[in-house]
Structure 1
Amino acid sequence: MKHARPLPAYMVTRYHGWKATTHAENKGWYRRLADEGQRPRAMIISCCDSRVHVTSIFGADQGEFFIHRNIANLVPPFQPDGSQHGTSAAVEYAVTALKVSHLVVLGHSSCGGVAGCYDMCSGNAPELEETGSFVGRWMDILRPGYDMLPEGDDEARTRALEKVSVTVSLNNLMTFPFVQKAVEEGTLSLHGLWNDIGEGTLEGYDPDVDAFVAI
């Protein structure tokens, strides 16, 4: 693999700092995680966006959350067609092997993937319509949500689509037989959240009012 290169110096320095402090001070905990395996209580599906730091938001330690990140925190519908489905595989493992009790879809403000979907659906991003656009084809999962948007300006509609990305994913999760079974048996609960990055606030989806409310 001749194209691989050593880590940048700043990353090496940060690693050694972590190893000498955080890891050294909690060495027994890390050894226990390694020896006993993981037992996360929840799976979090969040966006790849570097500004969304799931463990920091919830003050979680290693081993607490099974985290899967993708563009715009999307879950595709159940479709066992033989293709490679990273998100579907992560959901299957979390529910059937790890037996998590909670599955959380976490959306956020200023999501670039959602903004791209909005532009694509409104005809302003023809490059995402190209067959070879991985981002565009991934955002096709959210395309039906565009038709659900209320009237308003582009900024308001894009923010609304960020929240729709969460509800679309929650609905798609219920198309997975093992998810539906766990939910109906009461061993798994689904949760939808939206994080305002700048304000640091969280809103949760409330099915009783079909809206996101402050937490």
Structure 2
Amino acid sequence: MPFTKPLPSYLVQRYHGWKATTYDENKSWYRRLADEGQRPRAMVISCCDSRVHVTAIFGADQGEFFIHRNIANLVPPYEPDGDHHGTSAAVEYAVTALKVAHIVVLGHSNCGGVQGCMDMCTGHAPQLEEKTSFVGRWMDILRPGYEMVKDIEDPQERVRALEKRSVVTSMENLMSFPFVKDAVDAGELTLHGLWNDIGEGGLEQFDGTEFVAI
């Protein structure tokens, strides 16, 4: 593959630093994870945004979280149509194979994906309307959410409401998966919706009606 290149030197240096410190100091733990497999307590579905540092927010150790990231932390509805569904596959594996006890959907402020959905729904992003736009077709999942917030007058509050709606939409869609609903009904799985204010370091959780500060 002539298009592949060596890893940038700064990443190589960081790797060697990690190997000589964090790994070396916890070598037995890493080997145990490798030998015994993973047993994460929770699955976290978060945005791809580089500013959302899931393990840092919760102080999680290796092996504690099964993390899936995508644009705007969305979960599509249950649609076993034979097409590729990376998020749905991750949810299925977490619930049926890993038997996680919790699924956390983590949204955040200043989400580019949510802003893209807002722009698309208001006619300001025609490129996202194209059938060839992967982002646009993915953000179609949130179109119904836009209809619920479109009448909010303040633009910033409208976007923030849609960011939180993306979390609620994902939680609702999770319950359309039969194996998720069965696990929830059996008391083996709980769903949690969170929204992170990046600038302020704040965290809010959905209580079934609204988002409240933790």
TM-score bracket for this pair, using the shorter chain length: over 0.9
**Partner of residue 214, structure 1:** 213
Displacement of 1:154 in angstroms is 1.6
Superposition pairs of residues 157-172 of structure 1, within 5 angstroms? 157-172=158-173
Structure 2 residue 101 is the aligned partner of structure 1 residue 96: no
Percent identity, aligned pairs only? 75
SS state of the match for residue 148, structure 2? coil
For structure 1, the 5+ residue unaligned runs are none
**Partner of residue 74, structure 2:** 74
Structure 1 distance, partners of 2:157, 2:54, is 25
The amino acid that maps onto 1:8 is P
Structure 1 distance, partners of 2:152, 2:11, is 46
Structure 1 distance, partners of 2:121, 2:207, is 27
**Partner of residue 151, structure 1:** 152
Structure 2 residue 24 is the aligned partner of structure 1 residue 16: no
Displacement of 1:144 in angstroms is 0.6
Displacement of 1:2 in angstroms is 1.6
**Partner of residue 39, structure 1:** 39
**Partner of residue 181, structure 1:** 182
**Partner of residue 204, structure 1:** 205
For structure 2, the 5+ residue unaligned runs are none
Structure 1 distance, partners of 2:19, 2:48, is 25
The amino acid that maps onto 2:25 is E
**Partner of residue 130, structure 2:** 130
SS state of the match for residue 166, structure 1? helix
Structure 1 distance, partners of 2:37, 2:12, is 27
1:127-155 per-residue CA deviation (whole Å, 9 max, x = no partner) reads: 10001000000000001100001522221
1:96-151 per-residue CA deviation (whole Å, 9 max, x = no partner) reads: 00000000000000000000000000111011000100000000000110000152
Q: Moved runs in structure 1, 4+ residues, more than 3 A?
A: none
Structure 2 distance, partners of 1:116, 1:142, is 11
Structure 1 distance, partners of 2:18, 2:104, is 28
Structure 2 distance, partners of 1:204, 1:116, is 24
SS state of the match for residue 49, structure 1? coil
Displacement of 1:156 in angstroms is 1.1
**Partner of residue 121, structure 1:** 121
* Aligned CA-pair RMSD: 0.6
TM-score by length of 2: 0.99
SS state of the match for residue 191, structure 2? strand
The amino acid that maps onto 2:179 is F
Structure 2 distance, partners of 1:85, 1:156, is 32
Structure 1 distance, partners of 2:66, 2:59, is 14
The amino acid that maps onto 2:204 is E
1:67-89 per-residue CA deviation (whole Å, 9 max, x = no partner) reads: 00000000000000000000000
The amino acid that maps onto 1:133 is S
1:41-61 per-residue CA deviation (whole Å, 9 max, x = no partner) reads: 000000000000000000000
The amino acid that maps onto 1:112 is G
The amino acid that maps onto 1:88 is S
